[in-house]
Structure 1
Amino acid sequence: MLTFGSKAVTDFILNWVYNVEKIPSLKPYIVAVMDEELLRVCREKGIPAFHAQNSNIIGDKENLGGAVGQEKQVVSADKYYRQDGAAFKKMGAVKARVLQDLLEAGYNVFVSDADTVWFSDPWDIVGKEGVPSRSDSKLLREADILVSTDCIDYSEDLGPGLAAHEHNTGILWLRSTPSTIAFTKEWQVRALATTDGHDQTEFNRILKGWYEPGVEGRLSRDSGLDFPYMPAYVNEQDILVPTDPQRDLTVHGDKRMGMRPQMLEKAWNTFNRHKQQNIRDIYWMWRGRLKAAILPMAEFLNGHMYFTRRVQEYPGAAQPKVVHLTYQFGDTADYVYGKRQRLRELGMWEMEEADYFSKDDYIYITDVGSLCPASMPFLITL
């Protein structure tokens, strides 16, 4: 288990560690730090950590990635640079390089951002030696990449449409394969060079085929992969038959890539059959270069689903494995105020100072009845 952070989010790193420590099966874990200050804190507290290679580029405001039209960097590296597009995309490139190094060393890597909270481990879904695979996730063990989603429509969960939604790299599983390693190399180059996005933007564009792999420049959404993406297996009378991207994918005249006509019916039959059987598909993505799939929505929850819709409280809801505090209001370049407040409201913030509950003014509920006389008139304004 791996997370990334800088000193601006030190307490979020500590909150992440606190929750991971409660689940022994999530170990070993480690923190990739972006500065010496956070590294010092981790060492003082006995938290496994290392200094991310090339993270010094985040503090170099003149290093903008090389491409023409780059956004200027405003904040310094000691700020919450998610609010600064130039600094944040550089962190994304550093992140992709760290992942490349770990994958090349033979490690499978589960990444979860510092603004995630874990409730149980994911190994029955993503795969781990000695852990039986769940029946719905048996194909996921063959995926090079598994990623969470920003989708908020449950009807998409078991269908091919989910893979076409925005993927969120805040919860990401990478298997150590040649395809995944090649992907991380492409990812770090694209993340640093982008002029209209950041690492997650580029992750989505690469997977969905917006680029010719290794070729500078971008095609477009209209030149990416056709929907639906080709499944890695088709179901023929309940026998799983592997597909072959070299044989079964074709490039159209406009550089768009999709399944050959004879594959389309097989693919749709597979999607419908697997939805009935509660089996999650994996897909050929990155223009047929790797196999990817989306993690179950109900168990790898984004912030809207958990904190706003509270889907985990619905009757019969699955028990979530993790929640990621995706976008909400209230964060600034100085601090992640909005995300901290969300955690506070549901009792998931473990980093309060002791005097938080006693200093200054605060609102509290008393069991003393109202002192307002029943006869007092009320003024209602519109």
Structure 2
Amino acid sequence: MVGALDEGMTKICEEHGIPTLSIEANSIKNRGAANLRFDYSAYKRMAAMKVQFYSNILRLGFNVWACDADTAWMAHPAPSAREAPCGGGAQRHSCRREQAPFVNEYPMQYVDILTTTDCIDVEGDTKGGCWHVDHNTGLVYMRARQGVLDFTAAWKQKIETTRDVMIRDQAALNLLMREGFRSKEWEPPPDPQGRTKARPIYKAWNDRLKIARLPLRYFANGHTFFVQRMYARKEADGSDHPPPFALHMTYQYGDSSKFAYGKRQRMREARVWWVDPPSYFSEGRYLAVAPEGAALPIDTLPNSVTTAEAAGRFNKEDSHLRETLRDALGLATALNRTLVGGAFGMTLPFDCPADHILPLVGWFEQGVAFREPGFLTDPRLSPDIKSSWVRVDAPPMSASQARDALRPYEHVRVLEFKSTFRKFCGFEDATAGASFERVAKAVVPYHRTFCAEDWTPESCVGPRKGCVPFYAPCCHGSPGRHFPCVYLNKPPDFKGHAISDRPAFCPAPDPHGSTPAVHEERVVDYPDLSPNPRSRQFHKIVDDFRKKPGRKKR
């Protein structure tokens, strides 16, 4: 059921047959930002309405799975008729793999509220629940009990009466949960079936509530799902890890006041966004970069590596990425193709989500035509695109040279370059060159610093290594009282005019106007051993959470 904050959402739900309840939201209709999160006062008012929405459903006698709109569900949280109750040992493991609801495992039936967490330590969460980390209200399970109704009333009041505009639903819940919290585990009655406890239970809110944590391995957050990719790991017995029930889009960047670009793009990359129409995967012509050309060769670092050394290696990779991306963008613009890329195939030490290293807002707001990493290996990709794929090796070229040299491949759906590193020499047309410079400067550079807590500056003198006080500020502070910074390299040059401001890596224009030689390559196996010899494999494991029941996970 969707709680609709406006008439537009109510209409969408009705058109698609989605159960909905309208939420009286006149106080936030005239908000200042399209993305509500960026209008702090309106977001605070919405948080109170959200909690009231929960209370209304609880009063009807229903238990509530409350989730924010940025939550994706991979399985139904309720048991089906064919599922047996979870037992101990192998039977319990099997039941979990059949997606039985965790909230009904012993002794979770005694819990009033179960919350998710911002913890990213999956093993630590499995052992103890990561109770040192705040509760996250993006996904909460509440039972229709009087104590829970009393809590939701206090929760709403806390949001409304706290003057701090940043005290919304999550901060308010954590403040209440800490009242009288003693970290003392509550002991449930023994289980008649002899089952062991799935999770510890604690008393909170002045001992008025029993609370527990939903396990991180089944209720994933943005870091454990997209970066750690816990679902792709093997279990201790060698079996496949079951897919999580739900995913909450935390630990993510790239949103703006206009739209949640970053969250949608994260879901596209992970193939849990199934809203794009079939035309998204069947129309257009594309330009891609081969995996070995998009990243530098793997350079293993020793265990003793310092932050400064690791940041230096990152900067080396990052510089290669920015120049590769800049020229891929130039060639795609000159050839009127959609660029496939983002984070490319950087796998050191993980497949990096694009919003971690790219200014995604600029890509959307500048109107750049692009597709997410993994698009060309998506199972929804049209066979027409897969069967029209050519890989080329080309020298540095200007826009008109590229159009002439690549004219034989004009109707090829995917034109894959062996490399685009220092390959684009600009536009002959001054207006097009200026436009490219403006767009490239908005989408290629990215600003980030590394805090070198293990790096001792020369000016620092002390009896212990580092001699910077623990909890000292990073990057800025008095001499010897802050950790130094390692900065990203400066972005590459953006030279858009091939005549007046030609890049140094480009040869002088040929007075005879000859066309550069382009060589077509026929590759049987790519370095990543892709199952499709015509594709570049971004995800090493095929991620498909829309399988039919009973199908084994590949």
TM-score (norm 2): 0.46
Question: Which entry has the higher C-alpha Rg, 1 or 2?
Answer: 2
Q: Partner of 1:84 in structure 2?
A: 39
What displacement does 1:354 show?
4.8
Matches within 5 A, 1:82-231: 82-123=37-78, 132-133=85-86, 135=88, 137-160=105-128, 162-194=130-162, 195=164, 196-209=166-179, 225-226=181-182, 229-231=183-185
Q: Partner of 1:363 in structure 2?
A: 339
Q: Is the contact between residue 118 and residue 134 of structure 2 (CA under 8 Å) also seen in structure 1?
A: yes
Q: Is the contact between residue 179 and residue 289 of structure 1 (CA under 8 Å) also seen in structure 2?
A: yes
Counterpart residue type for residue 362 of structure 1: T
Matches within 5 A, 1:209-288: 209=179, 225-226=181-182, 229-233=183-187, 239=190, 279-288=198-207
Separation (CA, whole Å) in 1 of partners of 2:152 and 2:272 = 32
Q: Is the contact between residue 118 and residue 323 of structure 1 (CA under 8 Å) also seen in structure 2?
A: yes
Separation (CA, whole Å) in 2 of partners of 1:139 and 1:302 = 24
Give the stretch that moved more between structures: 131-140 or 108-117. Answer: 131-140
Give the stretch that moved more between structures: 114-123 or 153-162. Answer: 153-162
Q: Is the contact between residue 110 and residue 188 of structure 2 (CA under 8 Å) also seen in structure 1?
A: no
Counterpart residue type for residue 172 of structure 1: V
Counterpart residue type for residue 332 of structure 1: S
Residue correspondences, number:
280
In structure 2, list runs of 5 or more residues that go unmatched. Answer: 93-104, 236-240, 285-335, 341-375, 377-387, 396-418, 424-488, 493-554
Q: Partner of 2:98 in structure 1?
A: none
Q: Partner of 1:341 in structure 2?
A: 265
**Fraction of identical pairs, as percent:** 32
What displacement does 1:143 show?
0.5
Separation (CA, whole Å) in 2 of partners of 1:281 and 1:123 = 22
Higher relative contact order (CA 8 A, sep 6+): 1
Give the stretch that moved more between structures: 152-161 or 43-52. Answer: 152-161
Separation (CA, whole Å) in 2 of partners of 1:328 and 1:119 = 19
Q: Deviations over 1:216-240 (max 9, x none)?
A: xxxxxxxx523xx2222179xxx57
Counterpart residue type for residue 225 of structure 1: F
Q: Partner of 2:275 in structure 1?
A: 351
- Asked if residue 296 in structure 1 is aligned to residue 215 in structure 2, the reply is yes
247, 251, 254: which one aligns with 1:323: 247
Q: Deviations over 1:233-283 (max 9, x none)?
A: 179xxx57xxxxxxxxxxxxxxxxxxxxxxxxxxxxxxxxx9xx5631111
- Aligned-residue Cα RMSD (Å) equals 3.3
What displacement does 1:156 show?
2.4
Greater helix share, structure number: 1
Counterpart residue type for residue 308 of structure 1: V
Separation (CA, whole Å) in 2 of partners of 1:166 and 1:339 = 21
Separation (CA, whole Å) in 2 of partners of 1:160 and 1:311 = 18
Counterpart residue type for residue 338 of structure 2: Y
TM-score (norm 1): 0.65
Q: Is the contact between residue 158 and residue 279 of structure 1 (CA under 8 Å) also seen in structure 2?
A: no
What displacement does 1:293 show?
0.4
- Asked if residue 310 in structure 1 is aligned to residue 229 in structure 2, the reply is yes
Q: Deviations over 1:257-312 (max 9, x none)?
A: xxxxxxxxxxxxxxxxx9xx563111111110010100011000001110111111
Q: Is the contact between residue 129 and residue 213 of structure 2 (CA under 8 Å) also seen in structure 1?
A: no
What displacement does 1:170 show?
1.4
SS in 2 for 1:86: helix
Aligned in 2, Cα 1:145/1:379: closer, same or farther, shift over 3 Å? closer
